[in-house]
Amino acid sequence: MKIHLITRVLFFLILSAFGFIALGVSLTLITVPPQSLVYVNGMLVGQTNQDGILRIKVESASKIKVENIGYLPSTFFYSPNSKSATLLVNLKPIAYLSLNSNPKGAKVVIDGEKEVITPATVEIASGQHSLDVSKNGYAPEHLTINVKPFSVSSKEFTLKKLGRVSIKSVPDHASVDLNDELVGVTPFSTILSRGTYILTVGATGYSKISTSLIVTENSTFISKWFRLKKLATISVSSSPSGARISMAGTTFTAPSTITVEIGKYSYTASQTYSYPATGELNISGNGKYTVKLKRIKGLVVFSSNPVGAAVKLDGKLVGQTQLSIQVPYGVHFVKMVGPDGKVWFGRVMIDQKVTTVYGDMVNTGMVLVSANPATGTIVHIGQVWTTVPATLSAGVGVYRVEVFNPDYPVITRYIKITGGRVSKLSFSLESKAKLFVLSKPLGATVFVDGKELGHTPLFDASVPVGDQLLTIEWQDGNVQKHFLFEKDKVYTLSFSDPHSVKITFLSFPDPVKLFIDGKDEGYTPCAIILSRGNHSYEVYNVMGMKIAEGELCTTAFSSKTYFFLSGR
């Protein structure tokens, strides 16, 4: 009985499944416009009514097509499920688009999908469409067009011919820029639309070449070939140094380093106290090149008192007074040494045909003046005003020397000039501050910016103005602090050693027991490390009786101290 029941249930389930397949799923189609024909898998199954509604049965995945006169058909696939469904199909009105081009044979891609070759008339849906037009050798075009329903729209394209350009160079692999944008390397070819372009070709180690490239409508093939010139980095000097040189389209003062193309260059050069020069430099590669100019010379007559002095010109012995020689224009250093060892020296400007240089080693002496700082400092000696450093010749006698600088007080000294002798004057204009330093314990070493000034107590020490690092150093450590010292001010500073102190406690004749701040430190002799400050102590004999007590101030103790306790 059970077997029959199970068999009947299975039969019913199978029958139901086959019945579902046979009966299918109900699909309601709503079409716009109404009265559209409906095809399922290529077979006409009906027409939507005046309300655009049609109900059909779909048994499996099917291809459904809906069409109507004057509209583009709509085709889609539908897979039924166990539930009924409703689909809205909106047909688009038909429009016609007539396409043509000059020249013919252009490819037109409609909406990125449909492709035709002009001339062509295509059936498309009404509305807006994008068109991409292209033809080899012509500039591509892109546009949008709006097509009205149930009408024919026409569109004709006049294509602009492109210019084919070929660019080659020596060496190969040079960069090609069009309007400052890198587009490739040589050998290079491309197609360009009508217009004017700035073409630049260049390579590492070579000069760049720029030119205009004009592409006209219906342009013919354009071929460009460039030979790039190799670059050289050269150092150009002159003899004498400092000449003003013009070459390769630039002007510079020698010595100077410039980059130019390899080749021959004409130059012009000029320099004070030299004849102008012209010439040619053959630049074959990186290196050093020298432009020579002929110095103008003048006759220099050297005389001295006493006569017979040895004459050195720019460090080279040239003879004895009286002496006449040709000397190039410019500044020269002259030194005369008399028979008795007296000297005369100075810088002499030769800028005329005849110059007399007289060295009086009897009635004049030499003065060398320096100052710190030298910038902005001038010195007044006798009737002479000059900047420092200075080398002066002065008659024998006593002179008042004044040194001026707007940032410092005036300094006045006197100097005695002896014939044929060299006197030196050196001035320090730096403002100072006065410093007094005390310390606990005493004997600490004082440093200012690493320079040792002495030991505490330190009195009346001079320190430079400005932000300085002051260091106070004891045996067991140091204290550092920045101070801003101002000129002409006096600073009195006091420091205490913040570190600990080691105290060795002794007693005589008997050992005693020591308590520091209430702590049992044992019997003497004993060494204890204490912080600097006030401490209490108690002393007991061997019988346990207190024999002493008091206060102990370690602030001024040295880092290692002995302290005696009575044992009685």
How far is 196 from 397, CA to CA, in rounded Å? 84
Q: Among residues of the chain, what percentage have pLDDT more than 70?
A: 95
Q: Is the pLDDT of residue 282 over 60?
A: yes
Residue-level pLDDT at 6: 41
Identify residue 71 by its one-letter amino acid code: Y
Token output for 182? 């890198």
How far is 221 from 219, CA to CA, in rounded Å? 7
Neighbours of 281 (CB within 10 A): 19
DSSP single-letter state for residue 230: B
pLDDT tens, residue by residue, 324-337: 999 999 899 999 99
Which letter, b or e, does each residue of 345-381 get, where b requires 16 or more Cβ atoms within 10 Å of its Cβ?
A: beebebeeeebebebbbbebbbbebebeeeeebebbb
Specify the range with the lowest mean pLDDT, choosing from 66-75, 272-281, 290-299, 427-436.
427-436
Neighbours of 464 (CB within 10 A): 15
Nearest CA to 95 among 129, 138, 66, 119? 129
Tell me the pLDDT band of 405, cut-offs 50, 70 and 90.
Answer: confident
How far is 147 from 97, CA to CA, in rounded Å? 7
pLDDT tens, residue by residue, 236-266: 999 988 999 999 889 999 999 999 999 999 9
Q: Is the pLDDT of residue 292 over 90?
A: yes
Q: Is the pLDDT of residue 394 over 70?
A: yes
* Cis ω before 320 (30° cut-off from 0): no
Distances (CA, A) of 397 to 102, 275, 382: 108, 44, 10
The answer to whether 40 and 56 have CB atoms below 8 angstroms apart is yes
The answer for residues whose C-beta is within 8 angstroms of residue 385's C-beta and 6 or more apart is 378, 379
Token output for 491? 């600073």
Identify residue 549 by its one-letter amino acid code: E
Q: Which domains does the chain have, with CATH numbers?
A: 2-90 (2.60.40.10), 94-158 (2.60.40.10), 163-227 (2.60.40.1120), 231-292 (2.60.40.1120), 299-360 (2.60.40.1120), 364-428 (2.60.40.1120), 432-496 (2.60.40.10), 501-566 (2.60.40)
Residue-level pLDDT at 21: 40
Residue-level pLDDT at 278: 94
Tell me the pLDDT band of 281, cut-offs 50, 70 and 90.
Answer: very high
Residue-level pLDDT at 124: 87
Token output for 425? 């004057």
Q: Among residues of the chain, what percentage have pLDDT more than 90?
A: 43
Residue-level pLDDT at 98: 92
How far is 387 from 323, CA to CA, in rounded Å? 32
Residue-level pLDDT at 2: 39
Identify residue 500 by its one-letter amino acid code: S
Please provide the DSSP assignment of 180-202 as one string. Answer: TEEEEESSEEEEE-SEEEEEEEE
Tell me the pLDDT band of 218, cut-offs 50, 70 and 90.
Answer: low
The answer to whether 60 and 87 have CB atoms below 8 angstroms apart is no
Identify residue 106 by its one-letter amino acid code: A
Residue-level pLDDT at 126: 86
Q: Which residue has the higher pLDDT, 161 or 398?
A: 398
Taking residues 313-320, report their average pLDDT: 94
**Backbone φ and ψ of 315, nearest 5°:** 85, 0
How far is 226 from 71, CA to CA, in rounded Å? 62
**Backbone φ and ψ of 4, nearest 5°:** -60, -40
Nearest CA to 329 among 354, 292, 357? 354
Taking residues 548-557, report their average pLDDT: 85
How far is 306 from 361, CA to CA, in rounded Å? 7
pLDDT tens, residue by residue, 181-203: 999 999 998 888 778 899 999 99
* Model pTM score: 0.43
pLDDT tens, residue by residue, 4-59: 434 443 444 443 444 434 457 888 999 999 999 999 999 999 999 999 999 998 88
Token output for 539? 């002393």
Tell me the pLDDT band of 567, cut-offs 50, 70 and 90.
Answer: low
Using the structure block, give the residue that is written with the tokens 């020397």.
401
**Coil vs helix vs strand at 3:** helix
The answer for residues whose C-beta is within 8 angstroms of residue 246's C-beta and 6 or more apart is 267, 268, 269
Residue-level pLDDT at 198: 93
How far is 364 from 317, CA to CA, in rounded Å? 22
Residue-level pLDDT at 11: 42
pLDDT tens, residue by residue, 479-537: 888 888 887 788 998 888 888 888 898 888 778 888 999 998 888 888 888 888 889 99
How far is 511 from 502, CA to CA, in rounded Å? 20
Chain CA centroid to CA 174, Å: 29
Average pLDDT along the chain: 87
The answer to whether 65 and 56 have CB atoms below 8 angstroms apart is no
Residue-level pLDDT at 23: 56
What end-to-end distance do the CA atoms of the chain give, in Å?
129
How far is 336 from 382, CA to CA, in rounded Å? 23
Neighbours of 58 (CB within 10 A): 20
**Coil vs helix vs strand at 9:** helix
How far is 189 from 224, CA to CA, in rounded Å? 10
Residue-level pLDDT at 8: 46
Distances (CA, A) of 535 to 39, 313, 442, 551, 554: 114, 79, 20, 6, 8
Q: Which residues sit opposite 468 in a β-bridge?
A: 483
How far is 98 from 108, CA to CA, in rounded Å? 11
Q: Which residues sit opposite 423 in a β-bridge?
A: 367
pLDDT tens, residue by residue, 419-452: 889 988 888 877 778 889 998 888 889 999 888 9
Please provide the DSSP assignment of 392-414 as one string. Answer: EEEESEEEEEEEEETTEEEEEEE
Token output for 142? 């892109």
How far is 496 from 178, CA to CA, in rounded Å? 77
Residue-level pLDDT at 234: 93
Distances (CA, A) of 2 to 7, 9, 14, 253, 297: 9, 11, 19, 120, 142
Taking residues 260-289, report their average pLDDT: 92
Token output for 334? 């002259």
The answer to whether 31 and 56 have CB atoms below 8 angstroms apart is no
pLDDT tens, residue by residue, 108-127: 999 988 899 999 999 888 88
How far is 315 from 335, CA to CA, in rounded Å? 8
For Cα atoms 45, 47, 51, give the angle at the middle one, nearest 5 degrees: 140
